Amino acid sequence: MNNRKYLLYIEIIKAFLHYILYFAILCIGLKLLDRKTNVLLHFFLLLPAAYVSLAIQKRTRHIWSFFLLHVLMIGGYAFLAPSPIHILLYLPYMFALLISGFKTRLLEEERPAANASLYLVSIFILLYFAAKYFKLPEITSYLFCWLIIYVLLYYINMYLINFEKFFRTHAGLSNVPIQKIKSTNHTLVLFFASLSLGVMVLFQYIPLNKLIILLKEIVLSIIKSILSFLKQFEGAETIPEQNSNDAPIDFSVFIDKEQVPSPFWEFFQKIITGFITFSVFAFVIGLVIFSLYKLYRLFYERKYTFLTDKTEFISPFDQKESLGFPTIKTFLERFRPAYGSAPRERIRKLFFKAVSSSTAYEEIKNSMTPKELSKIALGAQKEYTLFTNKNQGQKKISYPNGVESLTNYAKGESPQKQLTYYYEKARYGKEACTKEDLQRVKSLLHHVR
Report the percent of the chain where pLDDT is more than 70: 62
Q: Looking at the structure, do residues 206 and 122 belong to the same domain, yes or no?
A: no
Is 336 inside any structural domain?
Answer: yes
Cα–Cα distance measured from residue 103 to residue 111, given in angstroms and rounded to the nearest whole number = 13
**What tens digit of pLDDT does each residue of 356-393 get?**
776 665 666 666 777 888 887 777 444 333 333 333 34
Least confident residue range of 96-100, 121-125, 328-332 = 328-332
Mean pLDDT of 406-433: 71
Is 246 inside any structural domain?
Answer: no
Is 241 inside any structural domain?
Answer: no
Between 53 and 102, the higher pLDDT residue? 53
Q: Is the pLDDT of residue 134 over 80?
A: yes
**What tens digit of pLDDT does each residue of 171-197 get?**
666 566 667 777 777 777 777 777 777
Q: Looking at the structure, do residues 145 and 11 belong to the same domain, yes or no?
A: yes
Q: Is the pLDDT of residue 334 over 70?
A: no
Q: How many contiguous H segments (helices) and E segments (strands) does the chain have?
A: 15, 2
Q: Looking at the structure, do residues 159 and 182 belong to the same domain, yes or no?
A: no
CB atoms within 10 A of CB 24: 22
Three-class SS string for 342-385?
CHHHHHHHHHHHHHHCCCCHHHCCCCCCHHHHHHHHHCCCCCCC
Task: State in Å, rounded, how far the first CA of the chain is from the last one.
Answer: 68
pTM for the full model? 0.47
- Residue 191, pLDDT score: 78
Q: Looking at the structure, do residues 270 and 415 belong to the same domain, yes or no?
A: no
Q: Which of 320, 337, 366 is the last residue of a domain?
A: 320
Is 258 inside any structural domain?
Answer: no
Q: Which residues contact 173 (CB under 8 A, 6 or more apart)?
A: none
Which element (helix H / strand E) includes 388?
Answer: strand 386-389
Between 400 and 314, the higher pLDDT residue? 314
- Residue 308, pLDDT score: 44
Q: Looking at the structure, do residues 52 and 99 belong to the same domain, yes or no?
A: yes
Is 248 inside any structural domain?
Answer: no
Q: Looking at the structure, do residues 92 and 197 belong to the same domain, yes or no?
A: no
Instruction: Give the number of domains in the chain.
Output: 3
Q: Which of 155, 122, 152 is nearest to 24 (CA)?
A: 122
Is 139 inside any structural domain?
Answer: yes
Q: Looking at the structure, do residues 23 and 112 belong to the same domain, yes or no?
A: yes
Between 247 and 217, the higher pLDDT residue? 217
- Residue 235, pLDDT score: 52
Q: Is the pLDDT of residue 45 over 80?
A: yes
421 close to 428: Cβ distance less than 8 angstroms: no
- Residue 111, pLDDT score: 60
Is 240 inside any structural domain?
Answer: no
Strands of 26-159, DSSP E: none
Q: Looking at the structure, do residues 134 and 178 belong to the same domain, yes or no?
A: no
**pLDDT, the chain, mean:** 71
Between 274 and 436, the higher pLDDT residue? 436
Cα–Cα distance measured from residue 172 to residue 276, given in angstroms and rounded to the nearest whole number = 53
Domain that holds residue 316: 174-230+263-320
Mean pLDDT of 39-50: 84
pLDDT grade for 27, boundaries at 50, 70 and 90: confident
Question: Any bridge partners for residue 395, and if so which?
Answer: 388
Report the b/e string of 122-138 with b at 16+ CB within 10 A: ebbeebbebbeeeebee
- Residue 254, pLDDT score: 45
Q: Is the pLDDT of residue 310 over 50?
A: no
- Residue 203, pLDDT score: 65
Q: Is the pLDDT of residue 153 over 80?
A: yes
pLDDT grade for 445, boundaries at 50, 70 and 90: confident
**What tens digit of pLDDT does each residue of 101-123 get?**
887 777 654 566 678 888 888 88
Q: Looking at the structure, do residues 225 and 276 belong to the same domain, yes or no?
A: yes
- Residue 295, pLDDT score: 67
Which element (helix H / strand E) includes 86?
Answer: helix 84-106
Q: Looking at the structure, do residues 285 and 190 belong to the same domain, yes or no?
A: yes
- Residue 9, pLDDT score: 85
Q: Looking at the structure, do residues 305 and 346 belong to the same domain, yes or no?
A: no
Mean pLDDT of 328-354: 69
